[in-house]
Amino acid sequence: MNDKEALKARVCAEIDRRSDEIVAISDHVMRNPETGYREVKTAAFVADHFARLGLPYRDKLALTGVKARMAGTAPGPTVALMGELDSLVSVNHPYADPVTGAAHCCGHNAMIGSMLGAAFGLRPVMEQLAGDVVLFAVPAEEGIELEYRMELRERGEIEFIQGKPELIRLGEFDDVDIAMITHTTDDAQPWLANPGSSTIGALKKLVVFRGRAAHAGGWPWEGVNALKAATLAMTGMDFQRETFRDDDNVRIHWNLTKGGEAVSAVPDDVRLDVMVRANRVEAMLDASAKVDRALRAGALALGAEVDITTMSGVLPMQIDSNLRELVRRNQEAFLGADRVGPPGHSTAGTDVGDLGHIMPVCQPLATGVTSAPHTEFYHVTDHVKAAVNPAKFMAMTVVDLLYDRAAEARRVIAEAAPSKITKDEYLAIRRAQDTHEVFDGGLRG
């Protein structure tokens, strides 16, 4: 065993020694869910663990983010290990908050466990590594509660509705060169871990149809039915499906968040949350334009007004191939090659993809959860698989990157550089996607 492999073994032994603590962290966060930009208790919980590790940290970054740093023995690149603070909403989830309905049905609790677990393993060996490790608990990965986030925007508290783009804007990734995070995936997979898959991008739309209220039984002809306008628009969006190229993986879905006040009144205020996904930014923008056309058509047909606010969500993610290979080797080293799955492509999205436009990123996957994500049945059942194992292979990968004067990290960064854009270029792409339109289909005419 060479010196680097001996260092990895030491890191893994320390993680094993603190395995029960990592499991307890993941379990605690799972039982105390909070949605994006509201993760106050979870952020304080992470900050307390940073303090116990003796690490200086900064908090309230993009409202709730918490960032700590472990310094190596010599200057070098900085690798960020991340954990996502937020949950979804699923009122029937077994670990849902009884008041807010928040629930960890995407496994972010295990991310917090694996990030802190990796810190436990790396902390004692930082004097043998060059460069730094940033530990970053990041907010608001899930693109939900759009009206709340719009309120935050209007008050000037955020610009972007999701956490990593907002942190990029604020300069909190300016001092990071490489980033990594592990997501959970269900146990239906024939493997325990995967070195990562590409994902698609997404735009979000907050849509308001405005009509004219009237008594639905006595004088419906006096009204303008905003719900029927929205229903036609939803049909129009659905009819766009065959206009999308198969290999662009376009997905359009929506949720009716307000359908009217009473069944006896013609609805005059109807609201939708809409998401447009695709593999490529160009395909995403094309689909977005077709969605807007359908929304206008619904308004025009009924003589209503439609207010369309489009917000940049997440960009498509490409995993750095060099990072992915390092992760795969480390997964195979302690899990066995037969228990590590192949990389692939997911039609889900993540704001890790945004980071991937400006630096090398990797999002490995690990099992240990039930069912399909974003449902009431999805939660971590095996915290060792979901949090402890990822703590090991992420920490081992950090050793690979920062050992020997960080030679491997420098290679990864140099080879990735031609495909990356600057922060300013990235922000320009995102801001170009943020639009607002009010279309009068006849209501004011």
pLDDT in tens, 400-443: 999 999 999 999 999 999 999 999 999 999 999 999 999 999 98
Average pLDDT on 316-332 reads 96
Residues 398 and 418 in one domain: yes
**What type of residue is 445?**
G
Residues 354 and 295 in one domain: no
CB atoms within 10 A of CB 5: 13
pLDDT bucket at 346, cuts 50 / 70 / 90: confident
- For residue 372, pLDDT beyond 70: yes
Beta strands in 328-381 (DSSP E): 361-362, 365-369
Contact 126, 198 (CB under 8 A): no
Residues 85 and 214 in one domain: no
Residue 382, domain extent: 3-199+317-422
**Burial 281-315, CB ≥16 within 10 A → b, else e:** bebbbbbbebbbebbbbbbbbbbbbbbbbbbbbbb
As a whole number of angstroms, the distance between CA 62 and CA 141 comes to 12
Please report whether residue 242 resides in a domain. yes
Residues 42 and 120 in one domain: yes
Lowest mean pLDDT among 24-28, 78-82, 290-294, 316-320: 316-320
> CB-based burial of residue 21 (10 Å sphere; 0-12 exposed, 13-18 middle, 19+ buried)?
middle
Residue 26: per-residue pLDDT: 98
Residue-wise pLDDT for 164-210, tens only, equals 999 999 999 999 999 999 999 888 888 999 999 889 999 999 999 99
Angle between helices 389-416 and 321-335 (to 10 degrees): 150
Please report whether residue 236 resides in a domain. yes
CB atoms within 10 A of CB 332: 16
Angle between helices 423-433 and 281-302 (to 10 degrees): 20
Q: How many helices (H) and strands (E) does the chain have?
A: 13, 16
Contact 82, 391 (CB under 8 A): no
Residues 373 and 383 in one domain: yes
What is the 8-class DSSP label of residue 208?
A: E
Residue 1: per-residue pLDDT: 66
Residues 183 and 289 in one domain: no
Please report whether residue 91 resides in a domain. yes
Residue 370: per-residue pLDDT: 86
User: Which CATH number belongs to the domain containing residue 254 in this structure?
Assistant: 3.30.70.360
Residues 181 and 227 in one domain: no
Contact 252, 275 (CB under 8 A): yes
pTM of the predicted structure, to 2 decimals: 0.93
124 to each of 88, 128, 310, 326, how far by Cα in Å? Answer: 35, 9, 47, 22
Q: Compute the mean pLDDT over every residue in the chain, rounded to the nearest whole number.
A: 95
End-of-domain residue from the set 314, 338, 356: 314
Residue 247: per-residue pLDDT: 93
Residue 265: per-residue pLDDT: 96
Residues 99 and 27 in one domain: yes
In 61-189, where does DSSP find H-type helix? Answer: 108-122, 146-154, 163-169
- For residue 377, pLDDT beyond 70: yes
Average pLDDT on 115-139 reads 98
Residues 277 and 356 in one domain: no
- For residue 445, pLDDT beyond 80: no
Residue 191: per-residue pLDDT: 93
As a whole number of angstroms, the distance between CA 311 and CA 313 comes to 6
Average pLDDT on 159-163 reads 95
- The percentage of residues in the chain with a pLDDT greater than 70, rounded to a whole number, is 100
Structural domain count, the chain:
2
- For residue 254, pLDDT beyond 90: yes
206 to each of 99, 125, 435, how far by Cα in Å? Answer: 25, 48, 11
Element spanning 146, H or E: helix 146-154
Residue 106: per-residue pLDDT: 94
Residue 371: per-residue pLDDT: 78
Residue 186: per-residue pLDDT: 81
Angle at 287 between CA 285 and CA 291, to 5 degrees: 115
As a whole number of angstroms, the distance between CA 266 and CA 227 comes to 8
Please report whether residue 246 resides in a domain. yes
Residues 278 and 324 in one domain: no
Average pLDDT on 339-352 reads 89
As a whole number of angstroms, the distance between CA 400 and CA 323 comes to 10
Please report whether residue 434 resides in a domain. no
Which residues pair with residue 306 across a beta bridge? 209, 439
Contact 314, 162 (CB under 8 A): yes
What is the 8-class DSSP label of residue 386?
A: I
Which of 68, 79, 48 has the alpha carbon at shortest distance from 138? Answer: 68
User: Which CATH number belongs to the domain containing residue 159 in this structure?
Assistant: 3.40.630.10
End-of-domain residue from the set 292, 314, 336: 314
Residue 123: per-residue pLDDT: 97
Please report whether residue 20 resides in a domain. yes
Please report whether residue 442 resides in a domain. no
- DSSP per-residue letters across 250-278: -EEEEEEEE--S-TTB---EEEEEEEEEE
Residues 339 and 407 in one domain: yes
Lowest mean pLDDT among 51-55, 291-295, 325-329, 374-378: 374-378
Residue 291: per-residue pLDDT: 98
pLDDT bucket at 28, cuts 50 / 70 / 90: very high
- DSSP per-residue letters across 171-191: TTTTT-SEEE--EEEETTSSS
Residues 138 and 243 in one domain: no
Please report whether residue 435 resides in a domain. no
362 to each of 46, 83, 182, 292, how far by Cα in Å? Answer: 22, 13, 8, 34
CB atoms within 10 A of CB 379: 27
